[in-house]
Structure 1
Amino acid sequence: MVDPADTPKTPGEAPLEAHSKLTAGERIHFQVFEGRAEPVDPVPTAVVCPHEEGSLGGALEAHDRDLIEPILVGDPDAIRKAADSLGRSIDGFEIIERKSHAEAAATAVKLVHDQRVRCLMKGHIHTDDFLHPIVRRDGGLRTGRRLSHVFVADLPRHPRPLLITDAAINITPDLATKADIVQNAIDLAMALGIQVPKVAILSAVETVNQVIPSSVDAAILAKMADRGQIKGGIVDGPFAMDNAIDAQAAATKGLDSPVAGQAEVLVVPSIEAGNILLKGLTFLGGAESAGLVIGATVPIMLTSRADDDRARAASAALALLYDHWAKSRSVPLT
């Protein structure tokens, strides 16, 4: 396990080097993130439609860990029924009554504009309904960037957390969207304490092949980073999966890159590739995962019905660290 003395107490104080404590089969990265979040005040969060045990339980777990201060938005009867099923009291929690999912999602966005919350958490609501008021051009939570989702995977024995993007929102992103996806992931990685994230743009090959569009996009994204159009990380590609994360595989291919075999961020070419990669790591590799939507004015927890309380709490730790990092910036997110 991680010695608490080895866990930085101030977000951004030091890079994540807890991998030296890994033992066989152990996952420790989420523990590190939660340790980094301990000195930070909980982030006010609108929880949209926590109408069943999973979504309400995850919000309460995050509250119990001092990660969020939840405002529950939705049908009070459904929320109380879920609390009763959990055997939990929600006395003292603010509940804003909204009977429809659309009204609840719109109210959550208004709470952001009113500066009452700095984070959103999806409850028992369809993703499209949840995101609709967020992505509106008039009155939504857009910035100058495209929204994208970043999964953070904690793998047994792997020395680093892996950030995987985008496996949830953008289906077949074009080059401009991929540039935003990369920048969003770099921002989250830095918020988590990875000072200069190493970003691998994945394809089926590690050389540019004009008949494989993802390999061409990868080379362009790497050059965009070289020219300062993508900031904060070391971006290279194309990489196949093996030589992005395994130093021996990279050496075998003769790849000379600071990212080769050392990637902390994996950018997939499409949502299908990301979904397959994440589920393969989860069900075959024993990964635990959490994630955030980045690119809006606030971090967004796009939790799934399949997520347990642990995953929801881990996502809340990511949101708290990102919110703290964003507030500490001298310029607003764009």
Structure 2
Amino acid sequence: MPLPTSAALPDLADLLADAHVVALPMRVRFRGITVREALVLRGPEGWTEFSPFVEYDDAEAAAWLRATIDFGWTSHEPTADSVPVNATVPAVRAHDVADVLARYPGCTTAKVKVAEPGTVVADDVARVAEVRRVMGEDAAIRVDANMLWSVDEAERALTELAPFRLQYAEQPCRTVAELAELRSRIAGLGVPVAADESVRKAADPLAVARAGAADVLVVKAQPLGGITAARRVVGEAGLPCVVSSALETSVGIAMGAFLAASAAADGYASGLGTAAMFQGDVTSDPILPSDGRVGVRRVDVSPDLVGRFRAAPEREEWWLARLRRVHAVLTA
């Protein structure tokens, strides 16, 4: 469904006037990538970001550009100074968990990646068990399968993981129908189901809520068309919402933090600590977890850091061409 933004579509020249493409190396492989590419640009309200994943087509990337414009061309007032965030644990070996968690000081919630291709459920159990051991019995632990389980696989895996008292299982299966079936099957396990891709990649982001297929919605500012559009989704969903990042630079994290300050459900830490996964950033004052929280603020982009992490010329041209194409999609 159309996702509104409160800002009119700027001219392409305005978007390109101060646009920079960066390639940030990651500390560990995550979501199948070791380098995260992003385009940051400056609007009249400050720096903003356009960073749909490279495999997304122009039609899907259009929502991300709406978000770019919404944040850079609309004045958004923060409704809090900071928001709580979770630690993010990639599909690392159990003995690497403590080192990962050390990058998230003060966090009392962890999101743990599971169902990584090439691994088995025993690997997931060992990883989650180590997170529980390191963080203690009072910590909240979520798992995220990124749609990679079938209903049967999810049922078996979550049965083994349930003893670790999961806060929820994020997008265990691909479709809304599968989520609904799984939710019915595991009703006795005490593991709520959260929807992510079924919200941000859906033509109708509210369909999963209407179908009763999830207990929690995970919302991300860029994929939903920006703060203005995402707030509407949260308001209409009628379910607790967790605001998460799309593996963005601190500029994109800032966008998510503004959303989380006004839309995240009480008691659910936001997934906005992911700048800790990068070896560098575009700002000298990155938005990183401190005492389990991140600040709600805009950031200034550092010319020196943009130069240090500038993408290769061919990748820079690929992103700028993509921006031109997606702008044309919105114009049409």
Query: What TM-score does the superposition give when structure 1 sets the normalisation length?
Result: 0.28
Query: What TM-score does the superposition give when structure 2 sets the normalisation length?
Result: 0.29
